[in-house]
Structure 1
Amino acid sequence: MLDLAKIAGQIPGISQHMHKEAIASRQRLESAQKLQQQAANRQAKLIQEQTDFRDRLLFAAATPIEPLDRCFEIQPAPYSHSVFATDGSQISPSHHEIAYCYLINIGQIMLHYGQSLHPLLDSVPEVFYKTEDLYVSKQWNIRLEEWMGYRRTVSEAETLAEMACNWVLPPGEHHEIPNLALVDGSLIYWFLDGLPIEARDKILLPILAAGERLRKTNIPMMGYVSASRSTEGLNFLRFQTCEYEHPNCVVNCGDLDDKYPCQKIDGLRDSTFWGNQLQPGQRSPLYRSNLRILDLYEESQRVYFCYVNMGVEIARLEVPAWVVEDQTLFEQSLSIVMTQVQKGYGYPVALAEAHNQAVVRGGDRARFFALLEQQLIRAGLRNVGTSYKEARKRGSIA
């Protein structure tokens, strides 16, 4: 039980710390605004330096492909359009439960506007119980809970492509209604970068295949990142603050253990910076992400991003290269996601509904294991039940 009286004495210290951080953040913001203007005047030269010394940099910086000092208006969405979205949830395995297995539940949503069509709100559960499902990750020293999260990401991507491509006919076969496939979170699967190659391929390749299927059907895909903590865009300004003739980090700063000289605005996030630049309904310039994991993507699938003032938050929107190359498709996708946020009162309604369909609550977990217990008993298994530890934790005599 949490003792709030003991916590109360720590609150003033937290308030003072946050006040100091707010002052420091304002100072960093002012510095970043000056650097942005300076970098905008030398943008082409800085991009060339970034390209020339890419393999000798010690930080990840995105490349702006539009003028740094411009903000762009987002146009209204077309009256008729469709939105597809998926999200996932799971029941984690436990040795204290009736059976050692796990469940992944994928919520799938299809919403149609201006077409007099019924929406799809559904979920697709899958139980993993075979030996190869439960112990395959051990060969790479990956915890099962972690592997389960990776498998869920694959299921979300494949379900999204399957649902959208089965609904939308290939280009040229009928009059195309504008559409958008929405992903909850980033399209950059950076967390796979440190995995062994074989493990990484089992996760990344099916995800990229799902993205390629969307591309061939001409269904634009967009990742919606709420409360982004990325500094990838602002890191480009470090080329402006570099004290050396060339940004050769390996040679100039490779032996430094402390803060690098170019980290003038360290701690400032992209979303905070653009929150002070953008008006509601505006987006930042587009950036090309240069994170290392993207070297494994096909060129058409490489990820670009921008920041958008949704009116309630600054969201990071990510799109594959093939969508960016089609200006009409890109602008159309932006307008649809903006409308989704308005309809969802601050968050895309399709993603919110996909989460609601996917989420597994405590009662769902109990009913799942109760159903499993019944089936095991019918199959003739004896001594079926939870461990004494689990049974004791579910009730209290105190």
Structure 2
Amino acid sequence: MLDLTQIAQQMQGISQHLTQEATATRQRLELAQRLLAQVGEQQAHLVQMQETWRDRLGFSAAIPIEPLATRIDLDAAPACHTVIATDGSQIAPSHHEIAYCYLINVGRVVLHYGQNRYPLMDSRPEVFYRPEDLYTCRQWGLRTEEWMGYQRTVSEAVALAELASSASPPSPTLAMVDGSLIYWFLESIPAEARDRILLPILQAWEQLQQANVPLVGYLSASRSGESLNFLRLKACPYGEPDCATHCPGQTDRAPCQVLDPLKDTAFWATLLKPGQRSPIWSSAARILDLYGPHRVYFCYVHVGHEIARIEFPAWVAAEATLLQTALSLALTQVQKGYGYPVTLAEAHNQAVVRGGDRARFFALLEQQMIRTGLRNIGPSYKETRKRGSIA
């Protein structure tokens, strides 16, 4: 139970801290705008510098594909269009339950606008209980709970590709996922485990490409600083941005780190008007070297109440019309959802597993185990006591 009296005593300190941070943020924004203005004709030189010294940089700086002064107004979505989305949820495995297994539930949504067609809104659950599902990951030093999360990402991508391939609507179509298309977690797992996750995802993206359905990842309240890191190349006081030589072991305290902890969204909020997008950027995340032709690009879009980061594969960025359509449909989804894409919100609602759903799942599992002749089944005494606690 929270002691609100003690918390109230700390509020004044929090308010003072936030006031100081707000002042510091304004100063960083002014500095970032000055650096942006100074880049000007040096952009091509800085891009070349970034590519040359990439392996010696102590930070990840995205590469601008368009002039940094680019501001493009997005068109309204056509009256007839289709938007597809998937999202996932799970019931995690627990040794305290009646059986050690886990469930992944993928919510699927297909919304047709201006076509007089029924929407699709459902979920597809799958139970994983075989030893290869539960224990194979341990040979790579991964916990079952961790592996379950990776499998959920695969299930979402595969379901999205299946929906796009089966729908085949004649109108413009967009496939959306919640969150980044850059799977940072893959950097820290062994190659064999990584292939089992990444390859099915890339195959699903290829299906989307063949169906000519653009894919975007929508990030609300993004914490990325990739585009601002490009300005660090300009702020570097040395002739060559060789972090390993000039600033060894002190990347966080380097002279170019004058904008930290400013984030991209705060910066672009000062430059974009509602309905506008920023320049296109190519992410420099090292894991993308494994993506092949599906390298991830991104831009920032002023969706009305916030700056959203929207990511897309290279084949979407390469075709201007396809990209424009994708961004227009994504912006329209935010407007229809009063601040967040309708399809993503509905896919989440279809996927989410609530407490009652979890209880019914294990009750159904218990009934099935009894029918097969198993005895003395039930949760652990710890789990039983927690459920019956009077606190």
The code of the aligned residue for 1:296 comes to L
Q: Which runs of structure 2 are paired with 1:44-83 in the superposition (5 Å)?
A: 44-83=44-83
The code of the aligned residue for 1:298 comes to G
In structure 2, distance between residues paired with 1:256 and 1:117: 58
Q: Is the 8 A contact 2:83 2:176 kept in 1?
A: yes
In structure 1, distance between residues paired with 2:263 and 2:185: 20
Aligned to 1:106, what secondary structure does the other structure show?
strand
Matched, 1:198 2:176: no
1:338-396 CA-to-partner distances (Å, cap 9, x unmatched) read 11001111000000000000000000000101111111111110011111111111122
The code of the aligned residue for 1:276 comes to T
1:134-163 CA-to-partner distances (Å, cap 9, x unmatched) read 111111111111111000000000000011
Matched, 1:329 2:322: yes
* Residue aligning to 2:131: 131
Deviation at 1:257, TM superposition (A): 6.6
1:295-320 CA-to-partner distances (Å, cap 9, x unmatched) read 00112x11110001110111000011
Matched, 1:263 2:253: no
* Residue aligning to 1:229: 223
* Residue aligning to 2:237: 243
Aligned to 1:42, what secondary structure does the other structure show?
helix
In structure 2, distance between residues paired with 1:255 and 1:235: 18
Q: Which runs of structure 2 are paired with 1:78-227 in the superposition (5 Å)?
A: 78-168=78-168, 176-227=170-221
Deviation at 1:325, TM superposition (A): 1.0
Which of 272, 290, 294 is 2:266 aligned to? 272
Aligned to 2:230, what secondary structure does the other structure show?
helix
The code of the aligned residue for 2:347 comes to A
In structure 2, distance between residues paired with 1:245 and 1:14: 41
Deviation at 1:258, TM superposition (A): 5.7
* Residue aligning to 1:173: none
The code of the aligned residue for 1:129 comes to Y
Aligned to 1:193, what secondary structure does the other structure show?
helix
Q: How many residues align?
A: 391
* Residue aligning to 1:24: 24
In structure 1, list runs of 5 or more residues that go unmatched. 170-175
Aligned to 1:147, what secondary structure does the other structure show?
helix
In structure 2, distance between residues paired with 1:241 and 1:184: 34
Which of 294, 310, 314 is 2:307 aligned to? 314
The code of the aligned residue for 2:111 comes to L
In structure 2, list runs of 5 or more residues that go unmatched. none
In structure 1, distance between residues paired with 2:68 and 2:86: 33
The code of the aligned residue for 2:42 comes to R
In structure 2, distance between residues paired with 1:68 and 1:258: 25
* Residue aligning to 2:363: 370
1:25-54 CA-to-partner distances (Å, cap 9, x unmatched) read 111001001001111331111111112222
Q: Is the 8 A contact 2:243 2:251 kept in 1?
A: no
The code of the aligned residue for 2:124 comes to V
Matched, 1:346 2:358: no
The code of the aligned residue for 2:100 comes to Y
In structure 2, distance between residues paired with 1:266 and 1:96: 44
In structure 2, distance between residues paired with 1:376 and 1:112: 42
Matched, 1:380 2:358: no
In structure 1, distance between residues paired with 2:3 and 2:139: 44
Matched-pair identity in %? 63
In structure 2, distance between residues paired with 1:7 and 1:119: 47
1:54-97 CA-to-partner distances (Å, cap 9, x unmatched) read 22211100011111123110111011111110000000111111
Q: Runs ≥4 in structure 1, deviation > 6 angstroms?
A: none
Structure 1 residues 332 and 258, CA gap change in structure 2 (3 angstroms): closer
- Cα RMSD (Å) of the superposition? 1.2
